[in-house]
Amino acid sequence: MYGNFQKYLSDELAAIKEAGLYKAERNIASPQSAEITLEDGSKALNFCANNYLGLADNPRLIKAARDIMSERGYGMASVRFICGTQDLHKKLEKAISEYFHTEDTILYASCFDANGGLFEPLLDASDAIISDSLNHASIIDGVRLCKAQRFRYANADMEDLERCLKEAQNCRHRLICTDGVFSMDGNVAPMDKICALAEKYDALVVVDESHSAGVVGPRGRGVAEQYGCYGRIDVHTGTLGKAFGGSVGGFTTGRKEIIEMLRQRSRPYLFSNSLPPMIVAAALETFKILDESDALHDKLLENVEYFRNAMMAAGFDIKPTQSAICAVMLYDAPLSQRFAARIAEEGIFVTGFYYPVVPKGQARIRVQLSAAHEREHLDRAIAAFVKVGKELGVLK
Ligand X SMILES: *Cc1c(COP(=O)(O)O)cnc(C)c1O
Length, in residues, of the chain: 396
Site string for ligand X, 165-184 (x = CB under 6 A): --------------x---x-
Q: Cα–Cα distances in Å, from 266 out to 107, 123, 141?
A: 11, 12, 14
Beta bridge partners of 329: 364
Nearest approach, Cβ of residue 272 and ligand X (Å): 12
DSSP label at 276? P
Binding of ligand X at residue 253 (CB under 6 A)? no
Binding segment toward ligand X, per CB under 6 A, in 107-115, 318-326, 329-337, 365-373: 107-115
Is residue 321 within 8 A of residue 393, CB to CB? The reply is no
From the CB of residue 202, how many other CB atoms can be counted at a distance below 10 Å? 11
Name the residue among 325, 323, 312, 326 with its Cα closest to residue 389: 312
Reduce the DSSP state of residue 331 to 3 states and report it: strand
Q: How far is the CB of 115 from ligand X (least distance, A)?
A: 6
Q: Is 344 helix (H, G, I), strand (E, B) or coil?
A: helix
Could you tell me the CA-to-CA distances from 348 to 26, 35, 84, 107, 393 in Å, in that order? 13, 9, 42, 35, 19
Residue 325 has phi, psi (to 5 degrees) of -100, 125
Residues involved in catalysis: 183, 211, 242
Backbone torsions φ then ψ of 353, nearest 5 degrees: -120, 140
Which listed residue (116, 117, 241, 389) binds ligand X by CB under 6 A? 241
- Residue 99 touches ligand X, criterion: CB under 6 A: no
Residue 243 vs 381, nearer CB to ligand X: 243
Query: Which one, of 27, 45, 26, lies nearest residue 36 by Cα?
Result: 45
Q: Which of 104, 127, 208, 285 binds ligand X (CB under 6 A)?
A: 208
Among 116, 250, 254, 268, binds ligand X (CB under 6 A): 250
Contact stretch for ligand X (CB under 6 A) within 7-15, 104-112, 188-196, 300-308: 104-112
Contact between 132 and ligand X by CB under 6 A: the answer reads no
Rounded CA separation 286/211 (Å): 16
176, containing H or E segment:
strand 174-179
Which of 76, 92, 96, 111 is in the footprint of ligand X by CB under 6 A? 111
Site for ligand X (CB under 6 A): which residue of 136, 299, 366, 373?
A: 136
The answer to whether 373 contacts ligand X (rule: CB under 6 A) is: no
Cβ pair 73, 277 in contact under 8 A: yes
- Residue 210 within binding range of ligand X, rule CB under 6 A: yes
d(CA 268, CA 274): 10
Nearer to ligand X, 138 or 303 (CB): 138
In degrees and rounded to multiples of 5, residue 330 shows phi and psi of -120, -20
Told to check if 239 binds ligand X by CB under 6 A, we report yes
Is residue 211 part of the contact set for ligand X (CB under 6 A)? yes
Our CB check for ligand X shows the closer of 224 and 378 to be 224
CB 54 within 8 A of CB 372: yes
Tell which one of 33, 51, 97, 110 touches ligand X (CB under 6 A): 110
Name which of 139 and 382 has its Cβ closer to ligand X: 139
Minimum separation from the CB atom of position 274 to ligand X (A): 15
Helix axes 277-292, 59-72, angle to 10 degrees: 140
Which stretch in 108-116, 170-178, 192-200, 224-232 sits in contact with ligand X by CB under 6 A? 108-116
Which residues of this protein are in contact with ligand X, per CB under 6 A? 110-112, 115, 136, 138, 179, 183, 208, 210-211, 239, 241, 250
